[in-house]
Structures are given as structure tokens and as C-alpha cells.
Amino acid sequence: MIERNEFVRLYGGVFEHSPWIAERAYDHGRIAVPLKAGALHEALCAEFRTASRDERLGVLRAHPDLAGKLAISGELTAESTAEQAGAGLDRLSAEEHARFTDLNERYMRDFGFPFIIAVKGLGKDDILNAFEARVANDATTEFATACAQVERIAGLRIAALFPGESA
């Protein structure tokens, strides 16, 4: 069995800035050996789902704005930097950046956490369209949607750590 500290070091960043999820999964005996991407994803998501609403809100708030201030200043995690760059969010025109900024501000004001979407396989137009649609959601729907997107992001990050497996 992998030691707890090593497990948290390897998988504590799967949920953005939330190593407590990996810690709890390990402590609750959810980790099976040999480690497989799908089982690991399920174990971590189970901890996320059973966390309090405030804890899940903390995970949502740990995510950066898309094409926001942290991206501009180079302060994103390596995973977020790569994910946003893969979707072309590091190459926005001034008009596109202004639209993202306006939507980020509106979304944060309305929901209290940043807009979250698994950007892999999406282009900036796909993301912008989803952003514009979801900013009209009610708070309950958007909280559930954001949580589902966080789990999808976690799955993609785990899959990247286990080449040839899907989470």
C-alpha cells in the first residue's frame, strides 16, 4: 500500500488546492491497490460528495477565473495553466478577454464562486457559449453543475496520471 504522505503528494492536487479530499479518501480506506484511474476517481469523488456544502463551496472557490487575473499574472497551478492554454484561453483578443472578464465578474457576483468548466476538448468559443448559458442558471442548478464539472476535471487530471486508463 502506498504511504499516506506519498498518496497525498501525488493526488492531493487532483481537486484544485484541496488536498483534504485525498487525505480523507486515504483515511477512510477508500484507496484500493493496485491503484487504478477509475477507482481512484470514484474514491476522491465520494469524499467530495460527502463533504459539507461549505467544504464543496471551498473547492469551487479554490478554482481560478477562466482567463482571469491569476492567468495573466502567471499564478495558476500547472494543471490549470495547461488546461486553459489547451483551450486557447491564453490567446484571447482584447474583446474576448473583456467578455470573459465581464462574465467572470457577473458570475462571481451571482454565485459566489468562479465559473468552472472542464475545458479539455473545448475551444474558447465553446467555453464562452457555455459561460453565457450557465450565468442565467439559478443558484441551486449552478452549484450542482459546478460540482459536476469539478469532478470531471478531477477525472481528466487522474487520467493524465494513468496513461492508457480512463477515470
Alpha helices in 28-123 (DSSP H): 37-50, 53-62, 69-73, 78-86, 94-111
Decide if 63 is catalytic: yes
Residues in the chain: 167
Instruction: Identify the active-site residue in 17, 28, 41, 63.
Output: 63
Whether residue 47 contacts residue 21, with contact meaning beta carbons closer than 8 Å, is answered with: yes
* DSSP character at residue 87: T
Whether residue 125 contacts residue 115, with contact meaning beta carbons closer than 8 Å, is answered with: no
SS3 for 18?
A: coil
- Show Cβ contacts of residue 59 under 8 Å, excluding neighbours closer than 6 positions: 15, 16, 18, 21, 48, 51, 150
The catalytic site residues sit at 63
